[in-house]
Amino acid sequence: MSTLATGVLRYLEEVLGVEASGLRPWAHSNELPYFLRDAFAFHELALLGQPILLATGRVEAKQSLKDVRIWLDKVKSLTGLPVVYVTDALASYDRRRLIAQKISFVVPGNQLYLPDLGLDLREYFRKRAPAADTALSPSAQAMLITALLRQPWQADWQPSAVAVALGYTPMTLSRAVKELTAAGVATAYTVGRVRWLRMELPPAQIWERAKPALRTPVKRTVWVAGRGHDADRPRRVAGLSALALGSMLAEPRSPVYAVTAAEWKAATNAGVRALPEPEAGAEEWQLWRYSPALIPDVTTVDPLSLMLSLEDNADDRVQLALDELKAQLPW
């Protein structure tokens, strides 16, 4: 029996104070199309006298929210039963999208939303951004993202080489290695006098494992008057401007660029000033916690940092564009 499915049973009983009974694998799963069986594990139970079907997302199957909505509608039309999406965690923007589309879901221990049964009980939500003491430092996050995006993919890599490329000191390197190994995304070993890191899982799985310890690279945002020449602008396109270049999203009214703290200081020394509020022709500059140039020879910030910077944007168009960007990752 699925651990998540039994977690749903206990959670329903704890929250509703009623008995949910008859939890068992759904006997008619084999009658569903293969793609639905590949995406979900199905269980049935009775709640408040109403039979419902649990569709637990399989960890090994990639599921966008768009796919989940379409697939659950298909299951509901084939079975005639209320269908509930079950997952172990949901980002805040995914939760909002599911609720907006009236899609029933349960996150055991966190939230249930069952509009077919008239229930919307929100207790507390797993946060995408971790507490400061569990989050990776900006330097460790930058090193991990650099390693994940290297082509061709290499499970074994020298953190010292990445640190040198990013301009980190030996002390920063040592701290980052400790953080990455403590987070369970890499194991350290030594060959001769050279320290190596090994990522035991494929990059997509490493990324999913690491995400709870990652946070937006954007420290703060400033608005500056439009620059007269391209040479005066920051070198990396960021935010909605970068997302528009990699998806069908329309470009924002104001261009968005990313700079480091040192680049911002140099710009202010050269006379650039932050505007008190946006104005016509202004540019949005994001001050990043780490270098926005993790990938050489491109004009935009890297896609993983870009996704982190926009993951809490509530605009459905932005989230769809992020899904589009995720599908383009070199994994």
Q: What is the pLDDT of residues 161-198, one digit of tens each?
A: 999 999 999 999 999 999 999 999 999 999 998 999 99
pLDDT digits (tens, 9 = 90+) for 237-270: 999 999 999 999 999 999 999 999 999 999 999 9
Q: If you write DSSP's letter for every residue of 108-145 in order, what string do you get? A: TTTEEEEGGGTEEEE-----SSPPTTTSPPHHHHHHHH
Specify whether the CB–CB gap between 88 and 110 falls below 8 A: no
The rounded distance, in Å, linking the Cα atoms of 59 and 54 is 15
Contacts of 233 (CB under 8 A, 6+ apart): 227, 255, 257, 283
Place of tokens 């310890």: 213
When mean pLDDT is compared across 3-7, 31-35, 250-254, 271-275, the lowest value belongs to: 3-7
- 65 contacts 94 by C-beta, under 8 angstroms: yes
Instruction: Judge whether residue 137 has pLDDT over 70.
Output: yes
Backbone phi, then psi, for 213, in 5-degree steps?
-100, 5
Tens digit of each residue's pLDDT (9 = 90 or more) over 71-102: 888 888 888 888 999 888 777 777 878 887 88
* Beta strand pairing call for 187-191 and 156-157: unpaired
Burial profile 281-302: b = 16 or more Cβ within 10 angstroms, e = fewer: ebbbbbbbbbbbbbbeeeebbb
